Amino acid sequence: FGQGRGAYIDTSNDGIIEINEIIFNECKGINGGGIHINCQSSLTQIFNRTQLTDCVGTGNGGGIYAIISFGEIKLDEITISGCSGLNGGGIYSTIDGTGKLTIKDSSSFTNCYSSHGNGGGIYIDIDFTTQGQISVQNSTFDSCQALNPQNSDIHKGFGSGIFISCINWDNINNGINLGQVEYINCEAYQGDKGLFIVMNELRELCRLGNPRGQYVRSKDYITELSDISLLMGYRGSPNQFESATAEDLKDKISELEYYIIDSGNYWHISTINNGIDRLSCGLIPNPCGTINYALLLTPLLFEGQYNPNTDIATMILLEDDMIDTVININTSTIVGNNIAIQSENGGEGKTLSYENMYKIGSNSESNTLFNVNGDGIKLGLYHLKLDNSFVTSTSPLILLTGDSTNNIDAQLHVESCIFQQSGNAPLSELKHNLIQINGGQAQIKNTQISNYLFSSGKSVINVESLTDQQESLLIINRTTFSKIAQQGNDGGSALRANIKSGISIYIQDYSIFEECICESGSGGAIKTQQNGGILDIKETIMKKCIALNGGGIYSTILTMEQFLINEEVYFEECEAFSTSIQQGRGGAIYINVGQDAPYEFTVGVNLHFNLNKASQYGRDLFIYCKNDGVPKRNLCKL
């Protein structure tokens, strides 16, 4: 058939051509069934009110095939109907150099289709290195299609109305203007209903103009109301697109609306129903599929709406998350170092009903769910339901690791969460701590922790220093520990702590320890060994806690900076019980004071005891002093 069966045009130097009111009907050629034009002229080539009907390109460009290196091709009031080609059913054009293609003034494309490629109405391949331009204004694409009949190539069937493949674009010169195009009943095999753009800088293009997205918005397009499939694209280079795997296409293809609208510093997560892990995810109608994917998104993707140096990257669950495992928050976390994870409508300082809180399930996993460590790293957990690691796992559910040799330590903030062991009664013994603190700063606030059974030496919270340099701060506010049991002969079902110099633990604001039981160990709720550091307990309630010694608290003091149990601390119905005469001491509190311990500590200012029991001595309080036979005076202030 040859090239350009209706007309073959080659312009160069200052050549110029103007075509007015010409009709091309049922023309058929290889590239350009109706017209083939090679534009090397610096001047403008004009097509006025030209009509191309039922033209076929066995190659590309059913109506027009245009190569534009210099100058401009301007199409005014052009009508292309029923034309088809492999790519570009109506028009196929490559643009480089200073070439420009302008389509305007009520031009229309009707029933055009790409038979086995991309671009039902128009296919554009453009290099913006030297300021090429493509402009389609006030034009209509009606019932155009991008087909992929055999589904043989996952890179075909895009751009039902317009398909544009771009390189070397910049937002200063722009070079793309597709605003106010109307797409009517267009369909692409791959899902778009109008426009599909392939370019690295897709987000930047979508954020240009006033209103934002001005240069890609179709006629009367309104964000959050219009059909989002009208405008779509692939965020990557044409070479990447052409070689992309199905997974890569899923990752980088998106409706353009999700680049036009700001997601701010919020990423919504839906692991079951609607979430898709892709570069544009984050908005409520376009949630990410997993927390871990969102954490890997580079902040450069959100420049202008999110600053990782000042903003909290907030992950918002829209439903239960039973997929995410091993969530590492550290200096390698790409999206930022200050992370919050919360249920929808939850967050720091907010209230949310139990029914509206979502769960992150981990009971089938052997690895730690949340691992927090590194300079300046922060993780906040808000209004979440959590359970435990796999029963036999020795890895804690949450691990915080800090190092005081650094200026800014790792931080963990747990607020308004609910912890409850998975499974039904009788519960299996957990072989791990829920929260392990090896340095860093942790606050557990307004949280409920209930119905756990731990093996010997394991607790809800365990505080240790792996090195002498590690310092820890733990603050427990308005938190309830209830029905916590520990097997074996250790103790401290709710809290175990090895308090050294640089470690401070504060329990306050009417935290509650109820039915915390270590029947064969010491310290039903809390067991500490203090060799420096601070233990400060105030405004706390302990009720029905049981152990061999120290039904509520068992503390060993070797040295200390401060030891305080005062200011409205209540012990009710706690019990130390044993048939041995060496045990059953301190129904509420047992303090084991080493011979080199400081001479003074405080227990008992506004301290309240009620109905506690001890099978041997110290119904409420028992203090054991090692003094090598030398009496110690003023040992404690009661």
d(CA 43, CA 52): 24
Output the pLDDT for position 152: 74
The percent of residues above 90 in pLDDT, for the chain, comes to 83
Q: Is 341 domain-assigned? A: no
Structural domain includes residue 63 = yes
Of the candidates 177, 23, 192, the one whose C-alpha atom is nearest the C-alpha of residue 114 is: 192
What is the arrangement of strands in the sheet containing 553-559, beginning at the earlier edge strand? 327-329, 370-373, 398-401, 435-438, 461-463, 495-500, 526-531, 553-559, 589-593, 621-625
Mean pLDDT (the chain, rounded): 93
**Phi/psi of residue 300, nearest 5 degrees:** -60, -25
Three-class secondary structure of residue 250 per DSSP: helix
The answer to the question of residue 51 being in a domain is yes
Predicted local distance difference test score (pLDDT) of residue 630: 52
Domains: count for the chain: 2
CB 256 within 8 A of CB 288: no
User: Quick check: is 196 in a domain?
Assistant: no
C-beta of residue 338 within 8 angstroms of C-beta of residue 312: yes
Backbone angles phi, psi at 296, to 5 degrees: -90, -5
CB 63 within 8 A of CB 112: yes
Query: For residue 176, what pLDDT is reported?
Result: 97
The residue range of the domain holding 78 is 7-191+203-221
Q: Which residues pair with 163 in a beta bridge?
A: 123, 196
Residue 38 CA: distances (Å) to CA of 2, 7, 55, 73, 537: 15, 11, 19, 10, 84
Instruction: Determine, yes or no, domain membership for 163.
Output: yes
Distance between alpha carbon 261 and the CA centroid of its chain, in Å? 17
Please state, in angstroms and rounded to a whole number, the distance separating the CA atoms of residues 289 and 292: 9
Q: How many Cα atoms sit within 13 Å of 320 on the Cβ side?
A: 9
Query: What is the pTM for the complete model shown?
Result: 0.89
- DSSP for residue 129: T
Radius of gyration of the chain (CA): 35
pLDDT tens, position by position, 96-110: 999 999 999 899 999
Tell whether 450 is covered by a domain: no
The stretches in the chain having pLDDT less than 50 are 631-635, 637
Rounded Cα distance, 552 and 336, in Å: 41
- The pLDDT assigned to 406 comes to 61
Question: Is 541 within the bounds of a domain?
Answer: yes
Whether residue 50 is contained in a domain is answered as yes
